[in-house]
Amino acid sequence: MKLLHSRIFLFAVMALLLIATGLVQSWSVVTTILNLCLISAIMSLGVNIQWGYAGLVNFGVMGFCAVGGMAVVLVAEPPVGAAWSAGGRGIAISAFIVAVAIAACLVVARKLKLRTRLKQLVLAAIIMIAIFLLKQVFGPATEAIEAVDPSLSGYLGGLGLPILASWIVAPVLAAGVAWLVGKAALGLRTDYLAIATFGISEILVTLVRNEDWLTRGVKNVVGLPRPAPYEIDLQQAIWFQHLAAGLGQPVDGFSTIFVKLCFAALFIPVLALLMWLSESALNSPWGRMMRAVRDNEVAANAMGKDIKKIHLTVFVLGAAVIGLGGAMLVTLDGQFTPSSYQPQRFTFLIWIMMIIGGSGNNWGAVLGGFLIWFCWVEAEPAGVWLLDLLTRGLGEQSELRHHLLANASQMRLVVMGVVLLVVLRFMPRGLIPEKRGQSFSD
């Protein structure tokens, strides 16, 4: 019961923080923060599934976010017909070559009985031939695609489906990538796994950033369709003008808040569903098995549990959730900007959320997502305000004062680092710790 109290208490504090921000700053700021809190909570849940349930270190959160974000573009953007006719065939042939090469490699590696050295040579030869063939087909095809109206398209476009369909495609795509990554990397010991996933996420983001034919790269995809109404339509709708008048709000300002609330109304059910699924999974026999594997791999293995398979499943599930978060973020932004994927924001910040909330506890992960995103956003104005106060004595002309105020936004990195270190040291199990040693009735 005590635990429940503290959980309710902590979420109440979070709500109060948001309300206080609304009173001090503005309700528009609060709705912006709220939406990102919801998305952060989902990403944090994903990391919690991997680390909290199973003890798998994924420092590649950024990569799965980017894959999820890319899925939005591939689903929602209209297809570019000219680009397809210019290079679609080349891309298809390239995909075929890659598929054949992979199949050939697998056959050689698995089926053929050759000496190791010879096998390596054959594999190398297959890869070389594939690369040579790809150079002939893939390069010209991508060039042709990127030449199609480069300022507006220059890429293949997407499927032209409703944008919300991407919330199903993104987790599937992220899960597929995670399956490949997990297949290869999960055998590594913990801190090698951390480095490997970190490296893989950088490769994924580099690909997303540079393969213009697929994602437009750093040219960004802007103006993605929106699942919520547009401000301009709202402002002209009679019912909305009445609603705003009824609430005593200016129409313009209220329309932006209303749009953000529409997004929140889309995000909250997703989070609730994920939460329900995660909680039932964690409290099911499957969840108990996960914890058993995490806490003592050898014993669990001796009990006949297939550790490799279990790890792979949980890694894929977590990545799917992270991918969904990435897709929701791009949907909210209405644009896909590959250069915005930075490890500090998309990997380590999410980790901080999960650890501070309480790893192994879904409620903790969600609370961490809310709280840390709030701090991350509010650390900037708070830092400016604090520095302004502290350096007021220096006078308006002081160079030091200007320098400090200009760089105040960097303080949030410092604050986050300190918060993480303090929590790790004094309450390593987080704000809402995992329930341990629970009885059957609990």
Partner 1 sequence: MENLLNAVVLAANYLVIPATTYGCQIALGALGVTLIFSVLRFSNFAHGEMMSFGTMITIFTVWGLQAAGISIQPLSTALLALPVSIAATIAVTLLTDRWVYRFYRVRRVEPIIMVIVSAGLMFFFSGLTRFVIGPEDRNFDDGVRFIISAREFKERTGLAEGMSFRTTQAATIIVAVACVALLFWFLERTRTGKTMRAYADNEDLALLSGIDPEKVVMLAWTIAASLAAIAGTLYGMDKSYKPFVYQELLMPIFAAAIAGGFGNPLGAIAGGFLVAFSEVALTYPYKRLVSYLVPPSWQPDGLLQFLATDYKYAISFFILIIVLFTRPTGLLGKRSA
Contact residues toward partner 1 (CB under 8 A) are 57, 59, 184-185, 188, 190-192, 194-196, 198-200, 202-203, 206-207, 209-210, 343-344, 348, 351-352, 355, 403-404, 406-408, 410-418, 420-421, 424-425
Q: How far is the CB of 315 from partner 1 (least distance, A)?
A: 15
Q: How far is the CB of 204 from partner 1 (least distance, A)?
A: 10
User: Beta strands of 6-144 (E only): which ranges?
Assistant: none
Q: How far is the CB of 92 from partner 1 (least distance, A)?
A: 23
Angle at 239 between CA 234 and CA 241, to 5 degrees: 65
Q: How far is the CB of 166 from partner 1 (least distance, A)?
A: 26
Residue 200 vs 221, nearer CB to partner 1: 200
Residue 194 vs 382, nearer CB to partner 1: 194
Q: How far is the CB of 320 from partner 1 (least distance, A)?
A: 22
Residue 175 vs 208, nearer CB to partner 1: 208
**Strand, helix or coil at 233?**
helix
Question: Of 3, 10, 4, which Cα lies nearest the Cα of 357?
Answer: 10
Q: How far is the CB of 301 from partner 1 (least distance, A)?
A: 19
CB 51 within 8 A of CB 58: yes
Residue 162 vs 428, nearer CB to partner 1: 428
Residue 325 vs 338, nearer CB to partner 1: 338
Please tell me the distance from the alpha carbon of residue 179 to that of residue 315, in angstroms, as a whole number.
8
Please tell me the distance from the alpha carbon of residue 236 to that of residue 253, in angstroms, as a whole number.
13
Please tell me the distance from the alpha carbon of residue 428 to that of residue 422, in angstroms, as a whole number.
9
Residue 382 vs 415, nearer CB to partner 1: 415
CA distances, 411 to each of 343, 388, 417, 440 (Å): 17, 13, 10, 46
Residue 279 vs 297, nearer CB to partner 1: 297
Angle at 46 between CA 435 and CA 174, to 5 degrees: 155
Q: How far is the CB of 88 from partner 1 (least distance, A)?
A: 22
Q: How far is the CB of 349 from partner 1 (least distance, A)?
A: 9
DSSP string, 285-348: HHHHHHHHHHH-HHHHHHTT--HHHHHHHHHHHHHHHHHHHHHHHHHHHTSB-GGG--HIIIII
- What count of Cα atoms within 13 Å lies in the side-chain half-sphere of residue 238? 0
Question: Of 410, 436, 359, 394, which Cα lies nearest the Cα of 57?
Answer: 359
Give me the torsion for CA of 168, 72, 413, 196, rounded to 10°: 70
Residue 56 vs 170, nearer CB to partner 1: 56
Please tell me the distance from the alpha carbon of residue 394 to that of residue 399, in angstroms, as a whole number.
9
Residue 20 vs 125, nearer CB to partner 1: 125
CB 375 within 8 A of CB 419: yes
Q: How far is the CB of 407 from partner 1 (least distance, A)?
A: 5
**Strand, helix or coil at 36?**
helix
**Strand, helix or coil at 221?**
strand
